[in-house]
Structure 1
Amino acid sequence: MHKTKHFAQAWLLLFMFVVHFEIIQSDDKGEGGLDDPHRDPSLCEVCKYLATELKGRLDETGKTHDVIETGYGFDEKKKKKEYKKTELRLIEALNDPHVCEKILEYNVHAERKGSLRFAKGRSQTMETLHNLVDKGVNVELGIPYDMWDTPSAGVAEMHRKCFKIVEDFEESIEEWYWNHQEKDLTTYLCANQVLRKDDQECLSEKFGGEKKSKKAKQSERKSTKASSNTETGKSKGDNGQHDHAREKKQEL
Protein backbone atom coordinates (compact mmCIF):
# COMPACT_ATOMS: atom_id res chain seq x y z
CA MET A 1 0.00 0.00 0.00
CA HIS A 2 2.78 2.41 0.96
CA LYS A 3 4.78 1.43 -2.13
CA THR A 4 1.82 2.19 -4.38
CA LYS A 5 1.31 5.58 -2.69
CA HIS A 6 4.99 6.49 -3.08
CA PHE A 7 4.88 5.39 -6.71
CA ALA A 8 1.86 7.64 -7.40
CA GLN A 9 3.64 10.60 -5.79
CA ALA A 10 6.79 9.92 -7.81
CA TRP A 11 4.74 9.66 -11.02
CA LEU A 12 3.06 13.01 -10.27
CA LEU A 13 6.41 14.74 -9.78
CA LEU A 14 7.70 13.19 -13.01
CA PHE A 15 4.61 14.29 -14.92
CA MET A 16 4.85 17.88 -13.68
CA PHE A 17 8.54 17.94 -14.62
CA VAL A 18 7.70 16.73 -18.13
CA VAL A 19 4.99 19.41 -18.56
CA HIS A 20 7.39 22.10 -17.36
CA PHE A 21 10.14 20.78 -19.65
CA GLU A 22 7.80 20.79 -22.66
CA ILE A 23 6.88 24.43 -22.02
CA ILE A 24 10.54 25.45 -21.77
CA GLN A 25 11.44 23.41 -24.83
CA SER A 26 8.64 25.05 -26.79
CA ASP A 27 9.90 28.51 -25.81
CA ASP A 28 13.47 27.58 -26.79
CA LYS A 29 12.40 26.73 -30.33
CA GLY A 30 11.32 30.29 -30.82
CA GLU A 31 7.94 31.90 -31.07
CA GLY A 32 6.36 31.24 -34.43
CA GLY A 33 8.73 28.41 -35.37
CA LEU A 34 7.32 25.44 -37.29
CA ASP A 35 7.85 23.20 -34.25
CA ASP A 36 6.03 25.58 -31.92
CA PRO A 37 2.44 24.32 -31.39
CA HIS A 38 1.52 27.75 -29.99
CA ARG A 39 2.57 29.69 -33.07
CA ASP A 40 0.05 31.97 -34.76
CA PRO A 41 -2.46 30.17 -37.00
CA SER A 42 -1.81 30.36 -40.72
CA LEU A 43 -4.45 31.61 -43.15
CA CYS A 44 -4.76 28.02 -44.36
CA GLU A 45 -5.64 26.82 -40.86
CA VAL A 46 -8.16 29.61 -40.32
CA CYS A 47 -9.95 28.98 -43.61
CA LYS A 48 -9.92 25.22 -43.04
CA TYR A 49 -11.78 25.44 -39.73
CA LEU A 50 -14.09 28.20 -40.93
CA ALA A 51 -15.17 25.92 -43.80
CA THR A 52 -15.49 22.99 -41.40
CA GLU A 53 -17.81 24.91 -39.07
CA LEU A 54 -19.91 26.40 -41.87
CA LYS A 55 -20.35 22.99 -43.52
CA GLY A 56 -21.34 21.56 -40.15
CA ARG A 57 -24.07 24.14 -39.67
CA LEU A 58 -25.41 23.72 -43.18
CA ASP A 59 -25.39 19.94 -42.85
CA GLU A 60 -27.56 20.22 -39.74
CA THR A 61 -30.15 22.50 -41.35
CA GLY A 62 -30.02 20.64 -44.67
CA LYS A 63 -31.71 17.61 -43.11
CA THR A 64 -34.94 19.46 -42.35
CA HIS A 65 -38.00 19.36 -44.58
CA ASP A 66 -39.48 22.57 -43.17
CA VAL A 67 -41.24 24.89 -45.57
CA ILE A 68 -41.45 28.65 -45.11
CA GLU A 69 -43.78 31.17 -46.73
CA THR A 70 -42.46 34.32 -48.38
CA GLY A 71 -44.26 37.44 -49.52
CA TYR A 72 -45.58 40.64 -47.94
CA GLY A 73 -48.99 42.26 -47.60
CA PHE A 74 -52.49 40.85 -47.19
CA ASP A 75 -53.29 40.76 -50.90
CA GLU A 76 -50.04 39.19 -52.08
CA LYS A 77 -50.11 35.43 -52.46
CA LYS A 78 -47.60 33.69 -50.21
CA LYS A 79 -44.94 31.55 -51.86
CA LYS A 80 -43.84 28.36 -50.22
CA LYS A 81 -40.23 27.30 -50.35
CA GLU A 82 -38.12 24.62 -48.69
CA TYR A 83 -36.09 26.14 -45.87
CA LYS A 84 -32.88 24.39 -46.99
CA LYS A 85 -33.07 26.27 -50.31
CA THR A 86 -33.63 29.73 -48.87
CA GLU A 87 -31.43 32.71 -48.19
CA LEU A 88 -32.58 32.62 -44.58
CA ARG A 89 -30.75 29.31 -44.07
CA LEU A 90 -27.45 30.80 -45.27
CA ILE A 91 -27.90 33.97 -43.19
CA GLU A 92 -28.57 31.94 -40.05
CA ALA A 93 -25.65 29.60 -40.73
CA LEU A 94 -23.30 32.56 -41.05
CA ASN A 95 -24.68 34.91 -38.40
CA ASP A 96 -26.96 33.23 -35.84
CA PRO A 97 -24.65 33.36 -33.92
CA HIS A 98 -21.73 34.20 -36.16
CA VAL A 99 -20.04 31.06 -37.46
CA CYS A 100 -16.64 32.35 -36.31
CA GLU A 101 -17.77 32.18 -32.68
CA LYS A 102 -17.48 28.38 -33.03
CA ILE A 103 -13.71 28.84 -33.34
CA LEU A 104 -13.56 29.75 -29.64
CA GLU A 105 -14.52 26.15 -28.83
CA TYR A 106 -11.12 25.00 -30.10
CA ASN A 107 -7.99 24.48 -28.02
CA VAL A 108 -4.34 23.95 -28.84
CA HIS A 109 -3.37 20.28 -28.55
CA ALA A 110 0.41 20.53 -28.33
CA GLU A 111 0.84 16.78 -28.82
CA ARG A 112 -0.52 17.01 -32.40
CA LYS A 113 1.24 18.22 -35.51
CA GLY A 114 0.40 20.94 -38.03
CA SER A 115 -3.17 22.19 -38.28
CA LEU A 116 -4.37 19.21 -36.25
CA ARG A 117 -3.12 20.97 -33.13
CA PHE A 118 -6.34 22.99 -33.28
CA ALA A 119 -9.20 20.82 -32.07
CA LYS A 120 -12.20 20.95 -29.78
CA GLY A 121 -11.94 19.53 -26.30
CA ARG A 122 -9.04 19.49 -23.87
CA SER A 123 -5.57 18.38 -24.84
CA GLN A 124 -4.09 15.25 -23.25
CA THR A 125 -1.94 17.36 -20.95
CA MET A 126 -4.78 19.60 -19.74
CA GLU A 127 -7.11 16.63 -19.27
CA THR A 128 -4.51 14.94 -17.07
CA LEU A 129 -3.98 18.10 -15.02
CA HIS A 130 -7.73 18.54 -14.50
CA ASN A 131 -7.98 14.91 -13.37
CA LEU A 132 -5.22 15.51 -10.83
CA VAL A 133 -7.06 18.53 -9.45
CA ASP A 134 -10.27 16.48 -9.23
CA LYS A 135 -8.35 13.97 -7.10
CA GLY A 136 -7.30 16.69 -4.69
CA VAL A 137 -3.77 17.30 -5.99
CA ASN A 138 -2.54 20.89 -5.78
CA VAL A 139 -1.38 21.83 -9.31
CA GLU A 140 0.17 25.25 -9.98
CA LEU A 141 0.41 26.53 -13.56
CA GLY A 142 0.96 30.18 -12.76
CA ILE A 143 -2.59 31.18 -13.78
CA PRO A 144 -5.90 30.92 -11.86
CA TYR A 145 -7.67 27.57 -12.20
CA ASP A 146 -10.80 29.15 -13.69
CA MET A 147 -8.68 30.46 -16.58
CA TRP A 148 -7.16 27.12 -17.56
CA ASP A 149 -9.75 26.54 -20.29
CA THR A 150 -9.94 30.08 -21.67
CA PRO A 151 -9.03 30.37 -25.39
CA SER A 152 -5.31 30.64 -26.01
CA ALA A 153 -3.70 33.49 -27.94
CA GLY A 154 -3.55 31.29 -31.05
CA VAL A 155 -7.24 30.46 -30.90
CA ALA A 156 -8.12 34.13 -30.30
CA GLU A 157 -6.07 35.08 -33.38
CA MET A 158 -7.79 32.40 -35.46
CA HIS A 159 -11.13 33.77 -34.26
CA ARG A 160 -10.18 37.28 -35.40
CA LYS A 161 -8.91 36.17 -38.81
CA CYS A 162 -12.04 34.09 -39.36
CA PHE A 163 -14.20 37.23 -39.30
CA LYS A 164 -11.89 38.84 -41.86
CA ILE A 165 -12.24 35.93 -44.30
CA VAL A 166 -16.04 35.94 -44.02
CA GLU A 167 -16.10 39.69 -44.61
CA ASP A 168 -13.74 39.61 -47.58
CA PHE A 169 -15.21 36.52 -49.26
CA GLU A 170 -18.90 36.77 -48.41
CA GLU A 171 -19.84 36.96 -52.09
CA SER A 172 -17.83 33.82 -52.84
CA ILE A 173 -19.61 31.97 -50.04
CA GLU A 174 -22.96 33.10 -51.40
CA GLU A 175 -21.98 32.01 -54.92
CA TRP A 176 -21.07 28.56 -53.62
CA TYR A 177 -24.33 28.31 -51.67
CA TRP A 178 -26.56 29.14 -54.62
CA ASN A 179 -24.72 27.51 -57.49
CA HIS A 180 -21.96 25.12 -56.40
CA GLN A 181 -23.04 23.15 -53.32
CA GLU A 182 -22.10 19.94 -55.11
CA LYS A 183 -18.48 21.06 -54.71
CA ASP A 184 -16.57 20.78 -51.43
CA LEU A 185 -16.62 24.15 -49.66
CA THR A 186 -13.05 23.82 -48.40
CA THR A 187 -11.78 23.30 -51.94
CA TYR A 188 -14.06 25.91 -53.51
CA LEU A 189 -13.41 28.66 -50.98
CA CYS A 190 -10.02 27.97 -49.41
CA ALA A 191 -8.02 26.22 -52.12
CA ASN A 192 -9.43 28.09 -55.10
CA GLN A 193 -9.96 31.60 -53.74
CA VAL A 194 -8.60 32.46 -50.31
CA LEU A 195 -5.19 30.76 -50.32
CA ARG A 196 -2.09 30.94 -52.44
CA LYS A 197 -1.10 27.71 -54.20
CA ASP A 198 1.94 27.38 -51.93
CA ASP A 199 -0.10 27.76 -48.74
CA GLN A 200 -2.54 24.84 -48.92
CA GLU A 201 -0.67 22.04 -47.21
CA CYS A 202 -2.88 22.08 -44.11
CA LEU A 203 -5.98 21.28 -46.16
CA SER A 204 -4.79 17.70 -46.72
CA GLU A 205 -4.08 17.03 -43.03
CA LYS A 206 -6.69 14.65 -41.65
CA PHE A 207 -7.21 13.49 -38.09
CA GLY A 208 -6.76 9.74 -37.83
CA GLY A 209 -7.87 9.30 -34.23
CA GLU A 210 -6.34 10.19 -30.90
CA LYS A 211 -2.87 8.79 -30.48
CA LYS A 212 -1.42 8.71 -27.01
CA SER A 213 1.98 10.26 -26.58
CA LYS A 214 4.98 8.11 -25.69
CA LYS A 215 5.08 9.63 -22.20
CA ALA A 216 1.38 8.88 -21.65
CA LYS A 217 1.89 5.25 -22.69
CA GLN A 218 4.88 4.92 -20.35
CA SER A 219 2.84 6.36 -17.48
CA GLU A 220 0.02 3.91 -18.19
CA ARG A 221 2.44 0.98 -18.19
CA LYS A 222 3.92 2.11 -14.86
CA SER A 223 0.47 2.54 -13.33
CA THR A 224 -0.59 -0.90 -14.59
CA LYS A 225 2.58 -2.47 -13.23
CA ALA A 226 2.08 -0.85 -9.81
CA SER A 227 -1.53 -2.00 -9.74
CA SER A 228 -0.47 -5.49 -10.80
CA ASN A 229 2.12 -5.66 -8.01
CA THR A 230 -0.49 -4.61 -5.48
CA GLU A 231 -2.91 -7.29 -6.68
CA THR A 232 -0.13 -9.89 -6.66
CA GLY A 233 0.63 -9.03 -3.05
CA LYS A 234 -3.01 -9.47 -2.11
CA SER A 235 -3.19 -12.73 -4.03
CA LYS A 236 -0.15 -14.13 -2.22
CA GLY A 237 -1.66 -13.15 1.09
CA ASP A 238 -4.93 -14.88 0.20
CA ASN A 239 -3.13 -18.05 -0.88
CA GLY A 240 -1.21 -18.08 2.37
CA GLN A 241 -4.45 -17.97 4.34
CA HIS A 242 -5.92 -20.84 2.31
CA ASP A 243 -2.77 -22.94 2.82
CA HIS A 244 -2.90 -22.30 6.56
CA ALA A 245 -6.57 -23.35 6.63
CA ARG A 246 -5.79 -26.57 4.78
CA GLU A 247 -3.00 -27.40 7.26
CA LYS A 248 -5.42 -26.90 10.19
CA LYS A 249 -7.96 -29.16 8.52
CA GLN A 250 -5.37 -31.93 8.04
CA GLU A 251 -4.34 -31.70 11.70
CA LEU A 252 -7.96 -32.24 12.72
Structure 2
Amino acid sequence: MTTGERIKVERNEEISIIILNRPHIMNALDAKMFQELRDALTGLGKDNRTKVIIITGGINFCAGADINELKEMSPVEAEVFSRLGHDVFDLLENTGKPVIAAINGYALGGGCELALACDIRIAGDGAKFGQPEVNLGLIPGFGATQRLTRLVGIGWAKELILSGRTIDVIEAESIGLVNSVVDDDKVMDKAAVTAKVLAQKSPLSIKMAKTLINKNPDIKKGLEVETISFSECFASDDHVEGINAFLEKRRPKFKGI
Protein backbone atom coordinates (compact mmCIF):
# COMPACT_ATOMS: atom_id res chain seq x y z
CA MET A 1 0.00 0.00 0.00
CA THR A 2 1.19 3.51 -0.89
CA THR A 3 -0.06 6.39 1.23
CA GLY A 4 0.08 10.07 0.33
CA GLU A 5 -1.32 13.11 2.05
CA ARG A 6 -4.45 13.10 -0.13
CA ILE A 7 -4.80 9.56 -1.53
CA LYS A 8 -3.99 5.96 -0.71
CA VAL A 9 -3.18 3.16 -3.17
CA GLU A 10 -3.85 -0.47 -2.30
CA ARG A 11 -3.24 -3.62 -4.33
CA ASN A 12 -5.33 -6.77 -4.45
CA GLU A 13 -3.52 -9.14 -6.80
CA GLU A 14 -4.01 -7.71 -10.34
CA ILE A 15 -6.31 -4.92 -9.16
CA SER A 16 -5.04 -1.61 -7.76
CA ILE A 17 -7.36 0.65 -5.78
CA ILE A 18 -6.92 4.42 -5.54
CA ILE A 19 -8.70 5.76 -2.46
CA LEU A 20 -9.37 9.49 -2.21
CA ASN A 21 -8.49 10.38 1.36
CA ARG A 22 -9.88 13.76 2.42
CA PRO A 23 -13.06 12.50 4.09
CA HIS A 24 -13.42 15.56 6.35
CA ILE A 25 -14.22 17.69 3.27
CA MET A 26 -15.82 14.95 1.15
CA ASN A 27 -12.61 14.41 -0.84
CA ALA A 28 -12.58 17.90 -2.32
CA LEU A 29 -10.04 18.27 -5.13
CA ASP A 30 -7.14 20.66 -4.72
CA ALA A 31 -3.83 21.02 -6.55
CA LYS A 32 -2.07 18.67 -4.15
CA MET A 33 -4.65 15.92 -4.68
CA PHE A 34 -4.36 16.30 -8.46
CA GLN A 35 -0.58 15.96 -8.18
CA GLU A 36 -0.88 12.83 -6.05
CA LEU A 37 -3.43 11.35 -8.47
CA ARG A 38 -1.09 12.07 -11.38
CA ASP A 39 1.81 10.36 -9.61
CA ALA A 40 -0.32 7.33 -8.72
CA LEU A 41 -1.75 6.95 -12.23
CA THR A 42 1.69 7.33 -13.81
CA GLY A 43 3.09 4.64 -11.56
CA LEU A 44 0.19 2.25 -12.06
CA GLY A 45 0.29 2.80 -15.81
CA LYS A 46 3.85 1.47 -15.84
CA ASP A 47 3.14 -1.38 -13.41
CA ASN A 48 2.75 -4.64 -15.33
CA ARG A 49 1.21 -6.33 -12.29
CA THR A 50 -1.77 -3.96 -12.35
CA LYS A 51 -4.41 -5.01 -14.87
CA VAL A 52 -7.36 -2.91 -13.61
CA ILE A 53 -7.67 0.27 -11.52
CA ILE A 54 -10.55 1.10 -9.17
CA ILE A 55 -11.05 4.64 -7.86
CA THR A 56 -13.20 5.19 -4.79
CA GLY A 57 -13.71 7.70 -2.03
CA GLY A 58 -15.36 5.81 0.79
CA ILE A 59 -18.55 7.39 2.16
CA ASN A 60 -18.40 10.17 -0.45
CA PHE A 61 -16.72 9.79 -3.82
CA CYS A 62 -15.81 13.45 -4.34
CA ALA A 63 -17.81 16.64 -3.78
CA GLY A 64 -15.83 18.67 -6.32
CA ALA A 65 -13.08 21.26 -6.24
CA ASP A 66 -12.01 22.72 -2.92
CA ILE A 67 -14.08 25.91 -2.69
CA ASN A 68 -11.67 27.58 -0.27
CA GLU A 69 -8.88 27.16 -2.82
CA LEU A 70 -11.07 28.41 -5.68
CA LYS A 71 -12.04 31.49 -3.68
CA GLU A 72 -8.50 32.87 -3.74
CA MET A 73 -7.73 32.22 -7.43
CA SER A 74 -7.12 34.85 -10.08
CA PRO A 75 -8.10 34.07 -13.70
CA VAL A 76 -4.50 33.09 -14.47
CA GLU A 77 -4.32 30.81 -11.44
CA ALA A 78 -7.69 29.31 -12.38
CA GLU A 79 -6.39 28.46 -15.85
CA VAL A 80 -3.35 26.74 -14.34
CA PHE A 81 -5.62 24.78 -11.98
CA SER A 82 -7.96 23.79 -14.80
CA ARG A 83 -5.05 22.62 -16.96
CA LEU A 84 -3.71 20.55 -14.07
CA GLY A 85 -7.11 18.88 -13.67
CA HIS A 86 -7.38 18.30 -17.42
CA ASP A 87 -3.90 16.77 -17.54
CA VAL A 88 -4.74 14.33 -14.73
CA PHE A 89 -8.15 13.36 -16.11
CA ASP A 90 -6.71 12.98 -19.62
CA LEU A 91 -4.07 10.67 -18.13
CA LEU A 92 -6.82 8.74 -16.37
CA GLU A 93 -9.02 8.49 -19.46
CA ASN A 94 -6.17 7.43 -21.72
CA THR A 95 -4.27 5.03 -19.49
CA GLY A 96 -4.08 1.64 -21.19
CA LYS A 97 -5.75 -0.10 -18.25
CA PRO A 98 -9.51 -0.12 -17.58
CA VAL A 99 -10.56 2.19 -14.74
CA ILE A 100 -13.68 1.66 -12.63
CA ALA A 101 -15.23 4.41 -10.52
CA ALA A 102 -16.81 2.94 -7.37
CA ILE A 103 -19.15 5.71 -6.24
CA ASN A 104 -20.86 6.26 -2.91
CA GLY A 105 -22.40 9.50 -1.71
CA TYR A 106 -21.66 12.69 -3.61
CA ALA A 107 -20.03 12.89 -7.03
CA LEU A 108 -20.44 16.59 -7.78
CA GLY A 109 -18.58 19.07 -9.97
CA GLY A 110 -15.00 17.90 -10.29
CA GLY A 111 -16.02 14.66 -8.59
CA CYS A 112 -18.52 13.94 -11.33
CA GLU A 113 -15.87 14.87 -13.88
CA LEU A 114 -13.49 12.40 -12.24
CA ALA A 115 -16.11 9.68 -12.65
CA LEU A 116 -16.68 10.71 -16.28
CA ALA A 117 -12.98 10.19 -17.05
CA CYS A 118 -13.23 6.59 -15.82
CA ASP A 119 -14.31 3.76 -18.13
CA ILE A 120 -17.04 2.22 -15.99
CA ARG A 121 -19.12 3.79 -13.21
CA ILE A 122 -20.65 1.64 -10.46
CA ALA A 123 -22.76 3.52 -7.93
CA GLY A 124 -24.46 2.88 -4.63
CA ASP A 125 -28.19 3.45 -4.33
CA GLY A 126 -27.61 6.59 -2.28
CA ALA A 127 -25.22 8.25 -4.73
CA LYS A 128 -25.84 11.78 -6.02
CA PHE A 129 -24.47 13.37 -9.19
CA GLY A 130 -24.34 16.88 -10.60
CA GLN A 131 -22.41 19.73 -12.18
CA PRO A 132 -23.31 22.64 -9.88
CA GLU A 133 -20.69 25.09 -11.14
CA VAL A 134 -23.26 27.58 -12.49
CA ASN A 135 -24.41 28.08 -8.89
CA LEU A 136 -20.94 29.52 -8.23
CA GLY A 137 -20.88 31.71 -11.33
CA LEU A 138 -18.61 29.17 -13.04
CA ILE A 139 -18.65 26.44 -15.67
CA PRO A 140 -17.20 22.94 -15.37
CA GLY A 141 -13.42 23.15 -15.49
CA PHE A 142 -12.27 19.54 -15.76
CA GLY A 143 -13.99 18.15 -18.84
CA ALA A 144 -17.73 17.86 -18.22
CA THR A 145 -18.76 20.06 -21.14
CA GLN A 146 -17.17 17.46 -23.41
CA ARG A 147 -17.25 14.09 -21.58
CA LEU A 148 -20.74 14.42 -20.13
CA THR A 149 -22.07 15.33 -23.57
CA ARG A 150 -20.42 12.27 -25.12
CA LEU A 151 -21.77 9.99 -22.41
CA VAL A 152 -25.40 11.09 -21.98
CA GLY A 153 -26.06 13.19 -25.08
CA ILE A 154 -26.28 16.92 -25.67
CA GLY A 155 -29.80 17.32 -24.27
CA TRP A 156 -29.11 15.83 -20.85
CA ALA A 157 -25.66 17.44 -20.68
CA LYS A 158 -27.16 20.87 -21.29
CA GLU A 159 -29.87 20.37 -18.68
CA LEU A 160 -27.48 19.18 -15.99
CA ILE A 161 -24.78 21.78 -16.64
CA LEU A 162 -27.12 24.73 -17.20
CA SER A 163 -29.41 23.97 -14.25
CA GLY A 164 -26.67 22.88 -11.87
CA ARG A 165 -29.12 20.48 -10.27
CA THR A 166 -28.20 17.33 -8.40
CA ILE A 167 -29.73 14.03 -9.54
CA ASP A 168 -30.16 10.76 -7.71
CA VAL A 169 -28.70 7.48 -8.87
CA ILE A 170 -31.96 6.26 -10.44
CA GLU A 171 -32.00 9.20 -12.83
CA ALA A 172 -28.25 8.90 -13.38
CA GLU A 173 -28.66 5.29 -14.44
CA SER A 174 -31.64 6.08 -16.66
CA ILE A 175 -29.65 8.61 -18.72
CA GLY A 176 -26.55 6.41 -18.96
CA LEU A 177 -24.37 8.32 -16.52
CA VAL A 178 -23.72 5.16 -14.47
CA ASN A 179 -23.38 1.58 -15.69
CA SER A 180 -24.90 -0.21 -12.71
CA VAL A 181 -26.45 0.47 -9.30
CA VAL A 182 -26.11 -1.70 -6.20
CA ASP A 183 -26.70 -1.30 -2.47
CA ASP A 184 -24.35 1.24 -0.92
CA ASP A 185 -22.48 -1.43 1.00
CA LYS A 186 -22.01 -3.58 -2.12
CA VAL A 187 -20.30 -0.98 -4.35
CA MET A 188 -16.74 -2.17 -3.82
CA ASP A 189 -17.82 -5.82 -4.09
CA LYS A 190 -19.43 -5.12 -7.47
CA ALA A 191 -16.40 -3.12 -8.59
CA ALA A 192 -14.09 -5.97 -7.59
CA VAL A 193 -16.15 -8.56 -9.48
CA THR A 194 -16.15 -6.36 -12.58
CA ALA A 195 -12.43 -5.73 -12.24
CA LYS A 196 -11.69 -9.46 -12.01
CA VAL A 197 -13.60 -10.05 -15.27
CA LEU A 198 -11.60 -7.33 -17.01
CA ALA A 199 -8.32 -8.55 -15.56
CA GLN A 200 -8.79 -11.88 -17.34
CA LYS A 201 -8.83 -10.24 -20.76
CA SER A 202 -5.86 -9.57 -23.02
CA PRO A 203 -4.11 -6.38 -21.80
CA LEU A 204 -3.14 -5.60 -25.39
CA SER A 205 -6.71 -5.96 -26.63
CA ILE A 206 -8.05 -3.87 -23.73
CA LYS A 207 -5.57 -1.08 -24.45
CA MET A 208 -6.23 -1.06 -28.20
CA ALA A 209 -10.01 -1.12 -27.79
CA LYS A 210 -9.98 1.64 -25.19
CA THR A 211 -7.71 3.80 -27.37
CA LEU A 212 -9.99 3.43 -30.37
CA ILE A 213 -13.15 4.14 -28.39
CA ASN A 214 -11.60 7.28 -26.92
CA LYS A 215 -10.19 8.49 -30.22
CA ASN A 216 -11.93 11.78 -30.99
CA PRO A 217 -9.95 14.78 -32.28
CA ASP A 218 -12.77 17.18 -31.48
CA ILE A 219 -12.67 16.54 -27.72
CA LYS A 220 -9.16 17.99 -27.39
CA LYS A 221 -10.32 21.22 -29.00
CA GLY A 222 -13.38 21.32 -26.76
CA LEU A 223 -11.38 20.70 -23.60
CA GLU A 224 -8.98 23.52 -24.49
CA VAL A 225 -11.85 25.97 -24.97
CA GLU A 226 -13.38 24.80 -21.69
CA THR A 227 -10.14 25.62 -19.84
CA ILE A 228 -9.99 29.16 -21.23
CA SER A 229 -13.68 29.79 -20.54
CA PHE A 230 -13.37 28.44 -16.99
CA SER A 231 -10.53 30.85 -16.23
CA GLU A 232 -12.47 33.78 -17.70
CA CYS A 233 -15.26 33.16 -15.19
CA PHE A 234 -12.85 34.12 -12.41
CA ALA A 235 -12.78 37.70 -13.68
CA SER A 236 -16.55 38.08 -13.20
CA ASP A 237 -18.51 39.61 -10.34
CA ASP A 238 -20.92 36.67 -10.60
CA HIS A 239 -18.15 34.26 -9.64
CA VAL A 240 -17.30 36.32 -6.54
CA GLU A 241 -20.98 36.43 -5.59
CA GLY A 242 -21.44 32.72 -6.23
CA ILE A 243 -18.50 31.70 -4.04
CA ASN A 244 -19.47 34.08 -1.23
CA ALA A 245 -23.07 32.91 -1.32
CA PHE A 246 -21.98 29.28 -1.11
CA LEU A 247 -19.69 29.91 1.86
CA GLU A 248 -22.35 32.05 3.57
CA LYS A 249 -25.05 29.41 2.85
CA ARG A 250 -27.40 31.80 1.06
CA ARG A 251 -28.92 32.12 -2.40
CA PRO A 252 -26.64 34.02 -4.82
CA LYS A 253 -27.79 37.22 -6.52
CA PHE A 254 -26.21 37.13 -9.98
CA LYS A 255 -26.05 40.23 -12.18
CA GLY A 256 -24.51 38.81 -15.33
CA ILE A 257 -21.26 40.75 -15.04
- What's the TM-score, normalizing by structure 2? 0.26
Larger radius of gyration: 1
Greater RCO, CA 8 A, separation 6+: 1
Structure (1/2) with the larger helix percentage: 1
